[in-house]
Amino acid sequence: MQSGTALVLFSGGQDSATCLAWALSRFARVETLGFDYGQRHAIELACRERLLDGVKALNADWAQKLGESHTLKIPTLADISDTALTRDVAIEMGADGLPNTFVPGRNLVFLTFAAALAYRRGIADIVGGMCETDYSGYPDCRDETIRALNAALNLGMAKRFELHTPLMWRDKAATWKLAHDLGGDGLVDLIREHSHTCYLGERGARHDWGYGCGKCPACALRAKGWGEYVASSLRGA
Ligand code: ZN
């Protein structure tokens, strides 16, 4: 258990919901930050409130630790990003080997805004769900990138921030298992029901692993991870 307050990048997706529980199990107080940048899965933002309510209902200690929920609007990101997340175009792989869901530098922008907010609020610990394991090729999710940015933020703001990425070396199945370790079936069910992952922003169809189109890369990854998690927990692993 660390003292002090953590700021969690909280989009309302599976990864950030798991990071929220991770932070609540380690820090005395936890604030959350979501970004509104015109993403077409803006439904994620609506999921945040339901997840926060659910987390509070699940655990009285967590309810007492949860502090402010912040939202920052950065529409500029949509203005400069001609990608599948912010424009109504099909998700596909580009010639550079990156899916066109890649918003260039998005996590650099998110973490820099998070650090600026943390600075103002006297917070040193920042938690994000960046992950290199189920790596879609997004270079701003790599551990090396996060460590370099951590150093740049510390220099540029004359602070000693610590960027925590608890999912960095976990695949999606391991992320479900982490949620179970932190909050049992209650947390797994809450994340399954109320977190949002689908790039297309679809909530219509309910699958074993939650809601989504079932076809986009994010849904496919979540479905695969859920299948592996269920298989391994049935084996008692
Ligand atoms: Zn989808």
Domain spans of the chain, in order of start: 5-236
- Please give all residues whose CB falls under 5 A of ion ligand 1, grouped by chain where several chains appear: 198, 200, 212-213, 216, 219
Please tell me the distance between residue 211's alpha carbon and the centre of ligand 1 in angstroms.
8
Residues ≥6 apart with Cβ < 8 Å to 173: 224, 225, 226, 228, 229, 232
pLDDT for position 86: 58
Please tell me the distance between residue 226's alpha carbon and the centre of ligand 1 in angstroms.
14
| Phi then psi dihedrals of residue 169, to 5 deg | -110, 15
pLDDT for position 207: 94
Instruction: Tell me the H-state helices in the chain.
Output: 14-24, 43-58, 60-65, 76-80, 106-121, 143-157, 172-194, 217-234
pLDDT for position 215: 86
Please tell me the distance between residue 202's alpha carbon and the centre of ligand 1 in angstroms.
6
Cα 57 from Cα 186, distance rounded (Å): 10
pTM, two decimal places: 0.89
Please tell me the distance between residue 21's alpha carbon and the centre of ligand 1 in angstroms.
24
Residue with tokens 């798991």: 18
pLDDT for position 218: 84
Cα 52 from Cα 50, distance rounded (Å): 5
Angle between helix 143-157 and helix 106-121 axes, rounded to 10 deg: 40
Please tell me the distance between residue 59's alpha carbon and the centre of ligand 1 in angstroms.
30
CB atoms within 10 A of CB 235: 7
Please tell me the distance between residue 127's alpha carbon and the centre of ligand 1 in angstroms.
25
Please tell me the distance between residue 96's alpha carbon and the centre of ligand 1 in angstroms.
22
pLDDT for position 77: 79
Please tell me the distance between residue 196's alpha carbon and the centre of ligand 1 in angstroms.
9
Fold of 5-236: Rossmann fold (3.40.50)
pLDDT for position 60: 97
The token pair at 118 is: 């943390």
| Phi then psi dihedrals of residue 197, to 5 deg | -125, -30
Residues of the chain with pLDDT under 50: 237
